[in-house]
Amino acid sequence: MKAMSFSITVWDLVRLELRVLVLGAILLVSNWMKNTIKLQRIESTKHIRSNKMIIIGFPGIGKSSVTRAYDGDTNTTGYIDLESSNFVKDDNWVKEYCDLALDLNLQGYNVFVSSHKAVREYLAERQGVFSDIMEVFPSKEMRTEWLNRLESRYIKCKTAKNERALSYMRNNFDDAIDEMEHDAIVHKIRITEKNMNDLRQAMIDYWNKWYTK
């Protein structure tokens, strides 16, 4: 059996070297494109972080009071209380409700939203882009004060919504707090006796501490 012999010419070496150079160039371009896309995503995320808040509010925290106090005041960032009772509770209401809140946030508003579990779960999945999503709820030690607050609200305004909130919290206050304590929302403000009368200042104090860590 005859041994096989190979003849490699100069042109073969040149072609091989060219192939290596081309492959190297392709890898460089590919890495450059990946890094460029990554930078674009970072810049896009920075753009979306408008420093306006989406505030998931426990019943009775004072959403309506803050909204009324700053509505139309050109010296403030602007607050909107996005009332979930205005949405028909079909299969798509959570998406439509939360997407509207996110859109209003991009327009430069601080948006108060409902503390429904489904709302919290939907917004929790979007914290990577919308970083200023936060929850506000009372500490368990505030149970008596909180129920008194909800009862007073109902006496002043006997709506079905206020009645449902009062009835539900009488039976489920601790469980509702536990749910919000252990959900996936990163930023949480706990209302205590010290900050219960100034919600807006409590939120400002929280962010000041967060950004100076």
Tokens 């079905």 locate to 160
- In this structure, the answer to whether residues 44 and 102 fall within a common structural domain is no
Q: Which two tokens stand for residue 44?
A: 């896009």
d(Cα 26, Cα 20) in Å, to the nearest integer? 10
pTM recorded for the entire structure: 0.71
DSSP annotation string for 9-26: -HHHHHHHHHHHHHHHHH
| Rounded Cα distance, 183 and 105, in Å | 22
Is residue 109 situated within a structural domain? yes
Domain that holds residue 22: 9-48
In this structure, are 15 and 77 located in the same domain?
A: no
pLDDT, position 68: 72
State how far the Cα of 175 lies from the Cα of 168, in Å rounded to an integer: 11
Closest CA to 59 of 126, 122, 136, 144: 136
Same domain (yes/no): 79, 20: no
Residue in this structure with the two tokens 């995503």, named with its chain if needed: 41
Same domain membership, residue 109 and residue 35: no
Instruction: Mark whether 81 and 16 lie in a shared domain.
Output: no
Residue 44 shares a structural domain with residue 88? no
Number of domains within the chain: 2
Q: What beta strand segments (E) does the chain contain?
A: 54-57, 79-81, 110-113, 133-138, 187-191
Do residues 169 and 176 touch, judged by C-beta distance below 8 A?
A: yes
What is the SS3 assignment for 154?
Answer: helix
pLDDT of residue 176: 96
What pLDDT score was predicted for residue 49?
Answer: 44
Token pair 């990554």: residue: 38
Task: Please state, as a whole number, how many other Cβ atoms lie within 10 Å of the Cβ of residue 131.
Answer: 16
Whether residues 16 and 93 fall in one domain: no
Instruction: Judge whether 25 lies within some domain.
Output: yes
Q: What was the pLDDT predicted at 63? A: 83
CB atoms within 10 A of CB 108: 11
Give the pLDDT of residue 57. 94
pLDDT along the chain (213 residues), means of 10: 54 63 61 47 41 90 76 61 91 95 91 95 93 94 94 92 93 96 95 84 81 66
Coil, strand or helix: which one is 43? helix
